[in-house]
Amino acid sequence: MEKTIKAAQGFLVLLLVTVMVAAGIYVLTQLKGVESGARSLYIWFAVIDFTVSFFLLFGLVVVQPNTSVVLTFFGKYVGTVKENGLIFVNPLYTKQKVSLRLQSLESTKLKVNDKLGNPIEIAAVILWQIEDTYKVCFDVVNFSSYMTNQSEAALRHLASTCPYDSIEDEKASVTLRDGGEKVIEMLESELNERMLKAGIVIKEARISHLAYAPEIAHAMLQRQQATAIVAARSKIVEGAVGMVEMALDLLSEKQMVELDEERKAVMVSNLLVVLCGDRSVSPVVNTGTLHQ
């Protein structure tokens, strides 16, 4: 598990290194004024001074905002530093920087089969963030590749558990096209379950592309158009029947004309043709009787 540690401030160490380097340079400039016996001592002092200064510089690390540094000591995990600024750690530590910022991943368009076996294309945009630096660094080989592969696997699984729409499966409680927040909730839950092993948290996931595969897209479009036409016609017929019923009731109530069953049938037929037709009707005036 991740262990957060507090590192020493690096400015004091940087100041110390600056003083040590200045002292070493000063000693080297004084070589001409010392005796030959003490000259070797001055040289050794300068060498040791520069070596220690150079060694201390390896322990200075700059940690940017929303960035962490994972520290290991000869293969052993020491801890994670999340404090921003210039810090100083053991120069022998191996340091690996890990970003804690929000990152976005847009998956490629995947061609999969939905719950009913129809080939569809689906893609998603995923907003994610690293939560456990230990798991990211040591539980997976490459968390970026892991993220990409598992997001595609989650999308494929989501598509296989839901139909594209409710045209073929009218009893479907959730569809990819009309599921809305429920589909998003299912996708985020699936992704978080998969990414937990890598220390990654999914903040948000949205389907960015959803369509039938090209080979069936035209046929499905015709089917949707036919379904829409049937639904529209049903509404038109329902309204026309209500209007005819209202017309007959008003004629009977006001006693404008007495209609037998045959004349009612003709009137109903004419009204339905006028109301349900999709083209303009040309009226025909009958100046004779009904049978002429």
Phi and psi at residue 39, to the nearest 5°: -65, -40
As a whole number of Å, the CA-based R_g of the chain is 40
- Which residue type occupies 12? L
- Which residue type occupies 114? D
Give the DSSP H/E element, type plus range, for residue 138: helix 133-138
Q: Is 171 buried (19+), middle (13-18) or exposed (0-12) by CB count in 10 A?
A: exposed
* pLDDT score at 227: 65
* pLDDT score at 260: 62
Residues paired with 98 in a beta bridge? 68
Q: How far apart are CA 155 and CA 84, in angstroms?
A: 37
* pLDDT score at 273: 66
* pLDDT score at 32: 73
* pLDDT score at 220: 63
CA distances in angstroms from 43 to 16, 19, 26, 197, listed in the order given: 20, 17, 11, 55
Kindly state the tokens that stand for 28: 């080297």
Task: Write down the pTM of the prediction.
Answer: 0.68
* pLDDT score at 114: 85
Q: How far apart are CA 120 and CA 244, in angstroms?
A: 45
Kindly state the tokens that stand for 152: 């595609």
DSSP secondary structure string, 182-216? HHHHHHHHHHHHHHGGGTEEEEEEEEEEEEE-HHH
Q: How far apart are CA 141 and CA 133, in angstroms?
A: 13
Strand order in the sheet with 60-63: 8-9, 85-88, 60-63
Superfamily (CATH H level) for 103-212: Band 7 domain (3.30.479.30)
The per-residue pLDDT string of the chain (292 residues; one tens digit each, 9 = 90 and over) reads 889 999 888 999 999 999 999 998 888 887 776 666 677 788 888 899 999 999 999 999 999 999 999 999 998 999 999 999 999 999 999 999 999 999 999 988 888 888 888 888 899 999 999 999 999 999 998 888 899 999 999 999 998 888 887 766 566 678 888 878 888 999 999 999 999 889 999 999 999 888 887 776 566 666 666 666 666 667 777 777 777 777 777 767 766 666 666 666 766 676 666 666 666 656 555 555 555 5
So where are the chain's domains? Answer: 8-96, 103-212, 217-276
* pLDDT score at 19: 93
CB 248 within 8 A of CB 264: yes
Q: How far apart are CA 219 and CA 222, in angstroms?
A: 5
Q: How far apart are CA 61 and CA 13, in angstroms?
A: 11
* pLDDT score at 271: 66
* pLDDT score at 228: 66
* pLDDT score at 246: 76
